[in-house]
Amino acid sequence: MTEFKRERTEELKAMEITRSSLDTAQGPADWFTGVVLIDTVAAPVPPSRVASAWVHFTPGARTVWHTHPLGQTIFVIEGVGRCQREGGPLEEIRPGDRVHFAAGENHWHGAAPSRLMTHIAIQEADDSGSPVTWGRPVTDAEYGAAAS
């Protein structure tokens, strides 16, 4: 067997397909305001600590304020959303937008008042296994501020 074929065969052995067997879960009320549905995209497989989820926000739904010890990236798939970092302006987000929140940056994200929004969330757990620290709910006044 040539070296190329051997390397290619080894690459193919490393591929793994996981058939979806997890049901869509409703986001917990202490993490979200409104109805939010979550589908797992990727769970950490050691040594990786990266996880990903497909998160569906109904109109007006949003996260509570929260931080990620190693940061988070969200990629908007559909709809219109809002996000904000603590002390920063309220931002409107749309399909194709990528938002990166720095490690420890207090922030929230969710759907616009009259539109759904779906994003893929990607974050990494810290050494203790925690990917997020949840905070207080986003007030209606914070959520309703004019988007830039």
Lowest-confidence pick of 10-24, 47-61, 115-129: 10-24
- Please name the residues in contact with 79: beta carbons below 8 A apart, sequence gap of 6 or more: 57, 94, 95, 111, 112, 115, 116, 117, 118
More confident residue, 128 or 13: 128
> What is the CA angle 137-30-125, rounded to 5?
100
pLDDT > 60? residue 129: yes
pTM: 0.84
Q: Alpha-carbon distance 127 to 50, whole Å?
A: 12
Nearest to 69 by CA among 143, 115, 135, 126: 126
* pLDDT, average across residues 40-69: 95
> What is the CA angle 101-102-107, rounded to 5?
45
Query: How do residues 88-110 score in pLDDT, each as one tens digit?
Result: 999 999 999 999 999 999 999 99
Q: Say if residues 62 and 33 touch (Cβ distance below 8 Å).
A: yes
* pLDDT, average across residues 77-83: 98
Q: Say if residues 98 and 74 touch (Cβ distance below 8 Å).
A: yes
Predicted confidence at residue 17, as pLDDT, reads 75
